[in-house]
């Protein structure tokens, strides 16, 4: 599906669903801006847009394939970006609770083309405003790209906050919960954090050196926005790194607690076994029809029982004196 948004600078007016056969006329003024948004697109639609702007075949091929990392490629009169938005679904059972959705962007002097496999909330926010309002598109294509990316970053903060809450719950439950539930939660959180770092680190590299290696055309008035975007990405990554350390620490703590519980259980079972051993010897010995003094006395069994109980308490007292229990 192809959606179009056009800003006419002379009229200071927005248009949408325009005729793309007139693209050359629409872009004749460098102050105009054309935004073409493609989602759930077909190869034919992508080929049509690629021919319209003479995009490089390798860039179009990247749009058809899933790219694992964010990147920027420079061409003669445009730049090609690969970004990733995050989709979080905590109740997912058959797949990972967090996944990434690729967003491909062609940035030209007075146009941008965005391509994504499904509808993106971050793109939709910018599109709804651009239907009637020119505040995003009258500041140039670089500012429009910034707003889309800023929406992607803003959508990441609730995910980060939720992960923080889950880690807090995990740290509290380590000492009260048992078994598979804690292990699964630790494993899930570790996978989620790994994917977050995989998505965010390359994106930060694109913007942290806005005038350096990863530089692309940005108006001087818009540079502070990209620097703020880089700061937000740094903040998110710092938090994610902290979460990684907390999860690893929680895992170590959990295994320490688990080991302590196991040692405690083994200690109790060992003490029970040690207490039972002499009692088993006594009952086994006299259970072989062995004659012993006072056998005919009616209360002898009670004396033997009391002796066995006394022996058990004596052993417990010895264990306690040695601080084994």
Kindly list the distances between the CA atom of residue 147 and the CA atoms of 121, 154, 187, in Å, as whole numbers in the listed order: 12, 10, 34
The radius of gyration of the chain from alpha carbons, rounded to an integer in Å, stands at 35
213 pLDDT above the threshold of 60: no
Kindly list the distances between the CA atom of residue 270 and the CA atoms of 106, 132, 312, in Å, as whole numbers in the listed order: 70, 78, 14
Q: Which helix (H) or strand (E) holds 171?
A: helix 141-173
* Rounded-to-integer distance, Cα 86 and Cα 122, Å: 10
| pLDDT in the model for residue 319 | 79
- Band of the pLDDT at 58, cuts 50, 70, 90? very high
218-266 confidence digits (pLDDT tens): 888 888 888 888 889 999 999 999 999 999 888 888 888 878 778 888 8
* Rounded-to-integer distance, Cα 27 and Cα 22, Å: 9
Contacts 24+ apart (CB under 8 A), 39-45: 39/1, 39/3, 39/115, 39/116, 39/117, 39/118, 39/119, 39/120, 39/123, 40/1, 40/117, 40/118, 40/119, 41/1, 41/2, 41/115, 45/1, 45/2
Beta strands at 33-39 and 71-74: parallel, antiparallel or unpaired? unpaired
Give the residue-averaged pLDDT of 96-119.
Answer: 90
User: 191 or 91, which is more confident?
Assistant: 191
Kindly list the distances between the CA atom of residue 220 and the CA atoms of 32, 101, 164, 262, in Å, as whole numbers in the listed order: 18, 30, 36, 63
- Band of the pLDDT at 144, cuts 50, 70, 90? very high
Tell me the whole-structure pTM to 2 decimals: 0.78
Percent of the chain with pLDDT over 90: 23
Q: Which helix (H) or strand (E) holds 60?
A: helix 57-64
35-58: string of b/e by CB count within 10 Å (b at 16+)? bbbbbebeeeebeebbeebebeee
Kindly list the distances between the CA atom of residue 194 and the CA atoms of 56, 102, 197, 251, in Å, as whole numbers in the listed order: 32, 17, 5, 15
- Band of the pLDDT at 212, cuts 50, 70, 90? low
Q: Which of 127, 78, 131, 136 is nearest to 107 (CA)?
A: 78
């Amino acid at each position: 599906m192809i959606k179009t948004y056009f800003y006419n600078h002379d009229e200071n007016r927005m248009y949408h669903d325009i005729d793309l056969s007139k693209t050359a006329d629409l872009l004749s003024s460098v102050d105009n801006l054309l935004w073409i948004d493609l989602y759930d697109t077909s190869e034919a639609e992508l080929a049509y847009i690629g021919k319209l702007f003479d995009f490089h075949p390798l860039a179009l091929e990247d749009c058809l394939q899933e790219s694992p990392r964010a990147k920027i490629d420079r061409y003669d009169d445009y730049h090609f970006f690969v970004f990733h938005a995050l989709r979080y679904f905590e109740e997912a059972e058959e797949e990972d609770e967090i996944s990434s959705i690729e967003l491909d962007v062609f940035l030209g002097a007075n146009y941008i083309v965005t391509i994504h496999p499904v509808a993106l909330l971050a793109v939709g926010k910018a599109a709804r405003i651009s239907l009637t309002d020119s505040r995003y598109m009258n500041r140039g294509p670089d500012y429009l790209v910034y707003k889309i990316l800023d929406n992607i970053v803003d959508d990441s903060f609730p995910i980060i906050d939720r992960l923080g809450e889950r880690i807090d719950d995990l740290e509290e439950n380590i000492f009260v919960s048992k078994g598979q539930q804690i292990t699964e939660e630790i494993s899930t959180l570790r996978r989620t954090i790994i994917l977050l770092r995989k998505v965010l680190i390359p994106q930060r590299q694109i913007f942290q050196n806005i005038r350096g290696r990863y530089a692309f055309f940005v108006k001087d008035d818009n540079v502070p926005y990209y620097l703020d975007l880089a700061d937000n990405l740094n903040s998110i990554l710092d938090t994610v790194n902290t979460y990684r350390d907390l999860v690893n620490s929680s895992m170590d703590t959990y295994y320490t607690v688990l080991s302590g519980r196991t040692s405690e259980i083994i200690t109790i079972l060992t003490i029970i076994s040690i207490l039972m051993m002499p009692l088993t010897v006594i009952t086994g010995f006299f259970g072989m029809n062995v004659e012993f003094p006072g056998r005919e006395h009616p209360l002898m069994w009670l004396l033997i029982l009391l002796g066995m109980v006394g022996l058990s308490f004596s052993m417990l007292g010895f264990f306690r004196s040695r601080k084994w229990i």
